[in-house]
A and B are shown apart, each in its own frame.
Chain A
Amino acid sequence: MKDPDLEQALLDVDFLSVQSILHSWVKDNPDIDEILEKIQVIMESIGKKWENSSIALSQVYMAGKLVEKNLNELFEDFSHSIQKNQPKSLQKDVYTGVFEDYHALGQIILNSFLRLAGYNVINLGIGLTKGELCEQVKNQQISILLLSTLMLSSAKHLEETIRDLRKIKPNIVIFVGGAPFNFQQDLWERIGADYYGASPNAILPILNNIFKQFNPSNGHSMEVFQ
């Protein structure tokens, strides 16, 4: 069940109400995992409202921002707190970046939703070039890469980049997102990405499935991607 009070406070960008509600939750039950579960339901509902155009992008961004700000105050870097309690094999590491562009709002919103869903988000930065991405993939254990871009020309340039990244790491899973992909629904396939998500709500179930499938507790390992 979602909590309508917190959701409404978030959509109203009501700083004080959000703070008061989250502080009272923690006072009642300081278990971060249970609080995150409740928050995920609300964030999913906000994501759905964004998808059906009943709320604006600024509300989605501020919702993630406000929840993270308060959780970080309450739990001292909540995302890090969750990850440090997990064995490395169970950590859900995902890498995100903005390709050839300096407009990062989409990535910032996605990072926020991912952290609130328990993912360990490693931000590769903005304005990434093909060369920089190839270096990162060579030097880091990147299995899941989520790239966003704003300009159509950059989206097109991703095709060659993805091809090169797969030469370095054939099993890398690549998600793409951003305005050009929203306007042309098959563009992600044309450039050779594995997945496309118009919103965090579209991306999270796919990611959850990937991690469920390759969770070591199911007898599999993320190492198949390495």
Chain B
Amino acid sequence: MNSMERIFAAVQWQEVDRLPFILNLTHHGAKVLNLSIREYYSKAEYMVEGQIKLWKKYQDDVVIGISYFASEFKAWGGDVKFFLDGPPNSMRPNLTTPEAIFTAKPPQIDDIPEFTETLKTIRHLKEYFGDKVPIIGGIISPFSFPIMQMGFNKYIELLYQDRNTFNELMKKNMEHAVNWANRQLEAGATMIVYFDPMGSAEMIPPSLYLETGYQIAKRTVAQIKGPVVYHFASSSSQKNLPKLIELPIKGTSISNKDNITECLKIMDKKAALLGNLSGIQLIHTTPNQVIDKLNKIVNNVTPKTGFIVSDHHGEISYFVSDEILTIISQFFHKKF
């Protein structure tokens, strides 16, 4: 089986030759090219070369077509801070008043260099990998994006106190999210990862999620013209799963706090699970501990499908060493 066949068989709970694994190597591309993270994300050529090198080195089952996540915040006029050893991060929120929300305009994709470079990256990766390796696209969900746009505290207050402004913001964020996801699919992305940590029961009560974030997801996912995977970016999803499986998604993440066996049971073969390695824990771990952890995960997956082993955050830490990444790769290529 090639990676494309393996991933799609797993999400449909069909037989696979081995469990698929995804390392979520985003800014590690800079490391293999000896570039700074800022330089790496500045040109499609670098991202393409980085992803190809990483894939050749570790042979995981996808390549990453997207740029850094905070680029969406930048596209909406926000400032981004780059680090030498971690992902770029959004700085001060820029939609902090109802007036700012009502006058904000979603960005034009073709006017944003980060977006055009991302689309170019996806196109080149598609040319290189064809239908053999899935190319991962992704968006920040309209419901979670306000954490950057407004600041977490102001957004929580908005959710509880001002549904009119919340609805306005969701309308604009959904327009952008759908547009951005579909442009990635048109460029050749195989699937869209819908990052929605705000939906986790760790962040808001499930009842509030069902009347807000879930409805937004339902309407957004319905307009995305390709496969969608739901992702909670290392937050727990177990309490959300019973309702999530009613959405037309191909999979969802679980965190290292969630129980694999129980989660698989809830999924009822309707979509796959991704998880649940903690990238942070992989930094100070020994090779034997990693193998133990992988064995535990794999042993909990019965039958041996419907599960993709992955870092639970959606982006593995820059500090995870080549040695550990190699061990994970060898684990899947040599056994099970």
Query: A residues within 8 Å of B by Cβ?
Result: 13, 53, 55-59, 61-62, 65, 100-105, 108, 127, 150-154, 156, 179-180, 183-184, 186-187, 190
Q: Does B90 contact A (CB under 8 A)?
A: yes
Interface CB pairs A-B, < 8 A, 7: A56-B208, A57-B202, A103-B151, A104-B153, A152-B317, A153-B85, A153-B318
Given A61-B153, A65-B157, A108-B153, do A184 and B86 touch, yes or no (CB 8 Å)? no
Q: A57-B203, A102-B93, A153-B318 given as contacts; is B86 within 8 A of A62 (CB)?
A: no
- Residues of B participating in the A interface, judged by any CB pair closer than 8 Å: 81, 83-87, 89-93, 147, 151-153, 156-157, 159-160, 201-205, 208, 234, 236, 256-257, 278, 280-281, 283-284, 317-319
With A103-B151, A152-B317 given, is the CB distance from A53 to B236 under 8 Å?
yes
Interface pair A58/B208, CB less than 8 Å apart: yes
Whether A58 touches B89, Cβ cut-off 8 Å, given contacts A152-B317, A183-B280, is: no
Given A58-B159, A151-B86, A153-B86, residue A183 in contact with residue B205 (CB < 8 A): no
> Which residues from B are CB-within-8-Å of A183?
234, 256, 278, 280-281
Residues of the A chain whose Cβ atoms lie less than 8 Å from the Cβ of B281: 183-184
What total of A-B pairs shows CB separation below 8 Å?
87
Q: A13-B160, A154-B86, A184-B281 are in contact. Are A102 and B91 (CB under 8 A)?
A: yes
Contact B202 A101 (CB under 8 A): no
Q: A151-B86, A152-B317, A152-B319 are in contact. Are A56 and B157 (CB under 8 A)?
A: no
- Which residues on A sit within 8 Å (CB–CB) of B87? 151, 153
**CB < 8 Å: which of B89, B278, B317 contacts A101?**
B89
Q: Is the CB of A127 within 8 A of B91?
A: yes
Q: A154 CA to B86 CA in the complex, in Å?
A: 8
Question: Closest 7 interchain pairs by CB?
Answer: A153-B86, A105-B152, A183-B280, A58-B204, A58-B156, A184-B280, A153-B85
